[in-house]
Amino acid sequence: MFAIIPLLFLIPSISTLFMTARQDSVPYSFFTEQLREGNVQSITVQEETVTGILNREVTYQNQPIREFETYIPQSVSGEYLDRINQEGVEVNTLPTPDTSGLAILLNLLPFAIMIWIFVRMSRAMRQQGGGMQGMFSVGKSKAKKFQKSDSDTTFGDVAGADSAKVELQEVVDFLRNPERYQQMGAEIPHGVLMVGPPGSGKTLIARAVAGEADVPFYSISGSDFVEMFVGVGASRVRDLFKDARGSSPAIVFIDEIDSIGRQRGAGLGGGHDEREQTLNQLLSEMDGFDKTETVIVLAATNRPDVLDPALLRPGRFDRRITVPAPAVRDREAILKIHAARRPMEEDVDIDAIARSTAGFSGADLANLLNEASLMAARARHTKVSYEDILAARDKIVLGLERSGVVMSDEERRTVAYHEAGHALVAVHVPQAEPVHKVTIIPRERAMGLTEQLPEGDKYLYRRDYITDRLAVMMGGRAAEAEVIGEITSGAASDLKQSYSIARQMVLEWGMSERFGNVAFGSGEREVFLGSELGHQRQYSDSTAREIDDEVREILNEAYSRAVEIVQTKREGLDKLASALLEKEQVTREQVEELLGVH
């Protein structure tokens, strides 16, 4: 839009284009010469312009001319016209066109367009909350200011992040009672960085800080600093800290700080762009000369590895709080908080749901109960049941049921034996997680599923546990080869996951008999940071071949174990596959009964 403005000033010159000379115009002397020679057939006079036709073609400046145009220095007098008439020349005259209105419009058009642009920009600023003066305050901070009364979220609404709450409660207490800490020689921390995966509750904890703190709380996203105008980001940083210092003591919360805090000089071009200017200003504001200011910067990110080292050093972010994915007890506490807001059936087992949602974040758990509530409402239930929650979990993990899928009898039989093979191996290897459910109901992400529920969260994985898990993954392919006589593409996901785990065993966990206690690492670099143009490995080509051989050997061993179990327990495999073909889904109790294990 702004590129149009310089063009507007060219519009008045358009009116002059109507009066510019044509390229075939001739001097007035040429016209009079041809007039004396009697070579003018006719002319047309319009104000100072004379256009005419010659009796015969003549050459002027090596150009043949029959029609011409010239300009009379002054208005044509009556005597002059009489002389022309005496020469037998036909004289045609036209009235002067009235171009005054057009000229006025062409001169006013740029101002009209500029007024229209001004109105549009002012309206847009007003819609964004900036008012009519918004276009003149683009460098103002967009942070939202909260007081304690503005937020009803407290630490009591946050479950599963006890260590983070303890650290932040101390920060809030420091702001409320700074004298007690200053008597012990303690200095207020400049910044607290919260690190955790998406959905782990970092923003929720920040809202709880706003609800707990009896001080002004400024909240802004990192992307709100940088705009298309040069210097706007740095100006907004200065304005934000100016407001915060004016309300000191105060807390400034910057969500997704990695959007402006990425490492400087990264990328192919390096450079000195607007984002780096914003980061430089943030570094300067956080490490000011005045040590008496009580302004704490609270920031959140899920990518601490991309942050600039100058941002992470003590004096800027003195504390780093990790907000991990919730463990099983934390998930149970989170589920209880969200379940308390909904009518729940008495048979809902929160503990079982917490164990069946390994890897779920706090946001995932909130979404789980919300989906269950929607399903209960659609089914006209008065309360949310345990079945509603399980159905919601399956929908989130596997997708919707594909009711329109029509499989042939052979395909259904193949899927049934594939899933029965997973369940059979899982039951007969010692370290596998218990089978919770086996189904051959097609969904968006799978044609069938063998679900295993862990007894609890695991933080260390033994080698025998991993090899048993690989055997379970190979159980489906082993059952296909043994019973159907052919292998199918249904094991694609199993093979991909097992290959990834086997490579981690060799490269990172030192679980290879050939290489022993050597961890090669994944060899991958953060390409988007620009530190390298591609992935690099830290071993030779010959070692890479040996690693491939070792990975292949681990996978072949897992497949051999699965084949052995399928062959020795073939009767149980047939019973389980038949039950799946008949019922499409069997529970843990039914699996144990069919396979004769308890």
- Residues identified as active-site: 419
Tokens encoding 364: 């995932």
Give the tokens for residue 553.
Answer: 């050997």
Longest dimension (CA), the chain: 131
Rounded distance between C-alpha atoms, residue 474 and residue 494, angstroms: 7
| CA dist., res. 344 & res. 370, Å (int) | 12
Burial of 356 (0-12, 13-18, 19+ CB in 10 A): buried
Distance CA 260, CA 307 (A): 9
Q: What is the residue type of 384?
A: V
**Tokens 């899933």, residue?**
419
Listed in sequence order, the residues at least 6 apart from 176 whose beta carbon sits closer than 8 Å to its beta carbon are 213, 214, 215
The residue ranges of DSSP E strands in 110-196, in sequence order, are 144-146, 191-195
Helix (H, G, I), strand (E, B) or coil at 287: coil
Q: Burial of 400 by CB count in 10 Å (0-12 exposed, 13-18 middle, 19+ buried)? A: exposed
CA angle in degrees (0–180, nearest 5) for 550-556-557: 90
Question: 32: which 2 tokens?
Answer: 């009079």
Q: Where are the alpha helices (DSSP H) in 287-407?
A: 309-312, 328-339, 350-355, 362-378, 386-398
Tally the C-alpha atoms within 13 A of residue 144's C-alpha that lie toward its C-beta. Answer: 10
The phi, psi pair for 392, rounded to 5°, reads -65, -40
Integer Cα distance of 438 and 577 in angstroms: 10
Q: How far apart, in whole angstroms, are the C-alpha atoms of residue 16 and residue 106?
A: 10
Q: Please tell me the total number of residues recorded for the chain in this structure.
A: 598
172 sits in which H/E element: helix 162-176
The three-class DSSP label of residue 346 is coil
CB 583 within 8 A of CB 412: no
Cis peptide before 198 (omega within 30 of 0): no
Tell which residue, 87, 81, 78, 83, has the closest CA to residue 50.
Answer: 81
Asked whether the beta carbons of 366 and 404 are under 8 A apart, the reply is no
440: helix, strand or coil: coil
What b/e readout covers 462-483, taking b as 16+ CB neighbours within 10 angstroms? eeebbbbbbbbbbbbbbbbbbb
